[in-house]
A and B are shown apart, each in its own frame.
Chain A
Amino acid sequence: MEALAKSDFIAKGETAAKPLVLWRPTAKTGLMSWLTTVDHKKIGFLYGISALFFFIFGGFEALLIRVQLAVPNNTFLTSAQYSEMFTMHGTTMIFLVVMPMGAAFFNFIMPLQIGARDVAFPRLNAFSFWTFAVGAVILNLGWFMKDGAPDAGWFGYAPLTTRHFSPTHAIDMWVMGLQLLGVASIAAALNFIVTIINMRAPGMTMMRLPVFTWMTLFTSFLIVLSFPAITIALVEIMMDRLFGTNFFEVSNGGLPILWQHLFWIFGHPEVYILILPAMGIISEILPTFSRKPLFGYPIVVFSGASIGFLGFGVWSHHMFTTGMGTTATAAFALMTMAIAVPTGVKIFNWIGTLWKGHLTMRTPMIFAIGFLWMFMIGGLSGVMHSAAPSDAEQHGSYFIVAHFHYVLIGGSLFALFSGIHYWFPLMFGRRVSEFWGKTSFWFIFIGFNVTFFPMHFLGMEGMPRRTFTYDGDMGWNLGNLTATIGAFILAIGVAIYFVTMIYTFFKGEKTTKDPWDARTLEWSLPNPPPEYNFRVIPTVHARDGWWYEKRHKAEIEKEQAEHAKEDEAHGGIHMPYQSIYPFLASVGIFIGALGVAVIDPANTAQYPGFWGPKVAVTILGGAIMFVSVLLWALEGNDGYHIHLNEDGTIKSEDHHAGH
């Protein structure tokens, strides 16, 4: 409340110096509105659409993999194509599907949950998205080039990725693409951290934050602290490839094990980056559909924190077979077991949430309960891997493939699908058909289990992962065929899911505000939410803020009317101007990245010194980025004010404030 009162629009008029007059895009529709948007909801939508696009892409790769493995000694794909498929399937699903899908929810939902009108740095947010898009393009460029797509596996162990063993640009693109995705993720995460810490509505104390917002915060911290490790690893391999340095050059004393350490110091927190948002979504959906608060909120939050914290101390369990020695192996085995405790605690609390609840079995709830079952299996097989000696048999086998698909599909993806169903009415004002939602769930659920459950056995039967072919006499035929059939059932399920979503987007049944009788603040908004989000910044009185509001209507209405008046007195709702510079900066980065990763080094005879197209393009890209960032800084963070009618429509826009 004090914060509201401090709105300082009045002071703005007295500012003596005028800011630089730069072009301010104002398009509200059309391509330009999307390129210049700073609205967290639009950016979230862009993230979501890209993620779903790449999901289809990565899923298609997975189907090709399964077709190749359906029968022994198959020649559907060549070995080289198969390597590209599994590399890009893994990279795509992790970096271009689950992470951006998480980012979509962070963007769209988190500010609404904390009662903010946008994220702390709206233009930085746009920059994050565009850089992500650019990285995704670079990563996939190889499909359209003769060099082919990256083919060294998603963790690209050196020295297989060095120039000697992978001479084409495929690996350069992988390296560059991941670096850009890292930049995008870090920028986005910094933004979310500041937003959550600094931009909560009055009364929204940390211990009243919705659990999804908490998980956003933890995920963001994990991103900020873990991505540097992979970025440095990628820089080192890039230096090796471009300049002939010796980081992983074995003949000059390079230690490939260093790559593994750097990669997994990132890679293990990354696992939690993929699952914590999912846990957050589940922690929203279960209480809503049980119609009671989350069981043991503080413990769920603290277990999230300890997962994040311990997540930095278990990376070497990905390296149990690298001959680390007994002590290190034992330490990492015990740490890995320890991290199972907070994870288990979450499951207990979710079940506790259902206990004595009033379970409404809507599609989001069905997906969420599916998540509980599948994540339990994935989690338990994870605990099994912490036993290092038996992991020596399972490591790098199909048992691992089964395990992480249970965690990533049964875990992350089920939760994300559940989240899409849950928030769809809020995002688009339409409701997904229960029948088709549940049909898609059953296809996905059955297909998923038929695909991946047999893989546990394939692994125990000694089938290594990343093998493009196998002999017919290994006892793997039935398992592989079953898995392939399952993959197609899963694909049908996903197709139903998508068709249903697209249909609902255009033609779905219109829904009222708060259709699920939910608990958190985002549901206090009309659907879809207006660009300014909250007509009046809410004041939060309890943990499940909206649930409280619904039960104290009169009191809240009075309070809001007061605040609306105050707000209007201070000049209305402040909106940030759109900006083209984040997009242009990303374009610059794209051009620079092309120079580094894709263009051949100059033929020395043709050009003086090191100058050549490669250097020229890189510098051009860098220059575009620099100028864009400069203009971005100089245009300032001004905005305009809008005044609303009683019903929430915009009465007038007030642009003088910005100039």
Chain B
Amino acid sequence: MFSDCTRESGGRFPAAFLYCCTMRLSHITTQFSRFLGVAVALAGTVLLSGCFWLDGPQSTFDPNGPVARRQMDLFYTTCWVSLFIFVVVGAVLAYAMIKFRARGEADEHAEPPEQAHGNPLVEISLIGASVLALVIIAIPTLSGIWYSYDVPVADKADAYEITATGYQWWFKFDYTSETAQTLDASGKTINAPFTTANELVIPAGRPIRIALRTVDVIHSFWIPKLAGKVDMMPNRANHLWLKADKPGYYWGQCAEFCGESHAVMRFRVIALAPMEFNDWVNNQMAPARKVAAVAAADTAKAKAQFADYRTFKRNEAGYSSAFDASPLDGWRAQQVAPASGENPELIQKGRALFAQKTCSSCHTIRGDGYIGVVGPELTHVGARSTIAAGLLENTRDQLHRWIHAPNEVKPGNTMWVAGYLANGIKLTPEDEDALVNYLQSLK
């Protein structure tokens, strides 16, 4: 991660620190006050250590699309102008502090200096200079406002449209230009845009125009590496656009306080090459996967399976370091069904439990007849790399952790409050086991 500091995208910033530090070091050498000395040492340490964090998964220093890049470039402009002003004004201030400082008691009680009241010429030229500095910022700001607002006209025809909807505390994504067979409320088969949740899969290299909606409170849709945030406001049709330069796996998060679990309302964006994206779309349009019964399922083993689940501490991380190392590969691995080890009997039991335990009143699983719309749609949940709104890696253990005690991972969530608590849902270890097997099979 450290070496990434020098990467093209993040590389300019550390240079700024060094420049700044040198400027400040020169102050020390000229015997400037300890005031400044401490400030320099301090700021230097903090700035340099800052260099080590510039490449996190949500770092805006590493833009991966034109919108984020434009925003970052503007940030650098403002940053340079500000640093310049800070250094110049700071140097004058520091000089004044040292030069005009009273030395010793006697000096303090000496005759006061000339009682000068100011100099209009200096004032006016300084005002002029500040206006000039602001103009430097204003021009790219204005062009940036128009650029980041909507897809450029030339690319409009190519834009791929998606609707993102905020819920407390997860995101729903409607692929409005695709359709899949599903059931309506009366049980009739209809064609409708297919829906997924918490993992936004987009074609790389194509502008994406995302309509932003919310069903409850205000959320804010933010994928730092692709584009700045835009709020999801009730009774307001907002949108944003972005483009991913290349295939990749990106982190996103709700950026407007939206209640108890705001901090864990996260999501992922997976940008794929066009062909791979098409494959994904085709898979999404298909109904839920069924696992064919194999002869003589090992029932004894099936019963014991839940004992494998490890228990989690409340503060344990939701990810393995293996996943972190190459998340896109992790995501791809989720797309394929395992060659063996699936237990059709348990899966069948899980499918039945899904209705018995009222899961189906909130979740849709196309093909299995479940049409709930309150919670995330789960038709292909097994193929996602994360669950619980980007909070946990989609492994059997973590899935078990989630359905076992949702409130521990996501305080106040609807599944717990309006599902488990309100309906008095109790899951036995065997139930949990069956449900995990069922959901994992939905590739």
Contacts and interface: CB of A to CB of B under 8 A. Distances in A.
A475 B118 contact: no
B317 A73 contact: yes
A165 B216 contact: yes
A291 interface: yes
B59 A321 contact: no
B373 interface: no
B7 to A, nearest CB: 14
Contacts of B9: none
B315 A73 contact: yes
A322 B317 contact: no
B53 A395 contact: no
Q: How large is the interface on B (under 10, 10 to 19, 20 to 34, 35 or more residues)?
A: 35 or more
A397 B71 CA distance: 15
A464 B60 CA distance: 12
A295 B118 contact: yes
Interface string B227-267: 11111011110110000000000010111111111111000
A578 interface: no
B100 A354 contact: yes
B436 to A, nearest CB: 23
B317 A473 contact: yes
Given A321-B220, A345-B127, A157 B257 contact: yes
Interface stretch (A40-48, A277-285, A448-456, A623-631): A448-456
A53 interface: no
A377 B38 contact: no
Nearest to B57: A474
B112 A392 contact: no
A556 interface: no
Interface string A249-286: 01001111100000000000000000000000000000
Most A C-beta atoms less than 10 A away, residue of B54, B77, B131, B217: B217
Interface string B365-391: 000000000000000000000000000
A387 interface: yes
A359 B107 CA distance: 10
Interface stretch (B84-92, B295-303, B330-338, B427-435): B84-92
A255 B237 CA distance: 12
B235 A256 contact: yes
B263 A470 contact: yes
A472 B39 CA distance: 30
Interface string B144-183: 1111110000000000000000001000000000000000
Contacts of A366: 35
B3 interface: no
A539 interface: no
Interface in A338-394: 338, 340-341, 344-345, 347-349, 351-352, 354-361, 366, 369, 372-373, 376-377, 380-381, 383-384, 386-394
Interface string B32-46: 000100110011001
B228 A321 contact: yes
Contacts of A290: 100, 113
Contacts of A351: 89, 92-93, 96
Most B C-beta atoms less than 10 A away, residue of A296, A356, A471, A472: A471
Nearest to A164: B216
Contacts of A334: 138, 142
B218 interface: yes
Q: How large is the interface on A (under 10, 10 to 19, 20 to 34, 35 or more residues)?
A: 35 or more
B203 interface: no
Contacts, number: 343
B235 A255 contact: yes
Given A389-B144, A393-B75, A396-B220, A250 B235 contact: yes
Interface stretch (A208-216, A217-225, A323-331, A412-420): A323-331
Contacts of A293: 115-117
Contacts of B263: 79, 464, 466-470
Most A C-beta atoms less than 10 A away, residue of B90, B149, B251, B319: B149
A457 interface: yes
Contacts of A461: 53-54, 56, 58-61
Most B C-beta atoms less than 10 A away, residue of A72, A296, A390, A469: A390
A349 B220 contact: no
B412 A80 contact: yes
B53 A457 contact: yes
Contact of A160 (B75, B140, B257, B316): B257
A355 B119 CA distance: 12
Interface string A131-168: 00000000000000000000011000101100001000
B308 interface: no
Contact of B264 (A299, A358, A463, A469): A469
A297 interface: yes
Given A157-B257, A321-B220, A475 B75 contact: no
Contacts of B110: 358
Contacts of A390: 71-72, 74-75, 78, 144, 228
A437 interface: no
A341 B315 contact: no
A383 B86 CA distance: 12
Contacts of B72: 390, 393
A337 interface: yes
B130 A345 contact: yes
B144 A387 contact: yes
Given A333-B142, A354-B97, A475-B1, A348 B126 contact: yes
Interface in A415-467: 442, 445-446, 449-450, 453-454, 456-458, 460-467
Given A345-B127, A460-B61, 16 more contacts: A73-B316, A160-B259, A255-B234, A329-B149, A348-B123, A352-B122, A358-B100, A358-B112, A376-B90, A377-B86, A386-B137, A387-B141, A388-B145, A389-B147, A462-B58, A462-B59
9 contacts: A254-B235, A256-B235, A295-B119, A323-B239, A333-B138, A361-B101, A462-B56, A464-B255, A478-B49
Interface of B: 1, 35, 38-39, 42-43, 46-47, 49-50, 52-61, 68, 70-72, 74-75, 77-79, 81-82, 85-86, 89-90, 92-93, 96-97, 100-102, 107-108, 110, 112-120, 122-123, 126-127, 130-131, 134, 137-138, 140-142, 144-149, 168, 212, 216-218, 220, 222, 224, 227-231, 233-236, 238-239, 251, 253-264, 314-319, 321, 324, 411-412
Interface of A: 72-75, 78-80, 83, 152-153, 157, 159-160, 165, 250, 253-257, 290-297, 299, 321-323, 325-326, 329-330, 333-334, 337-338, 340-341, 344-345, 347-349, 351-352, 354-361, 366, 369, 372-373, 376-377, 380-381, 383-384, 386-397, 442, 445-446, 449-450, 453-454, 456-458, 460-476, 478-479, 482
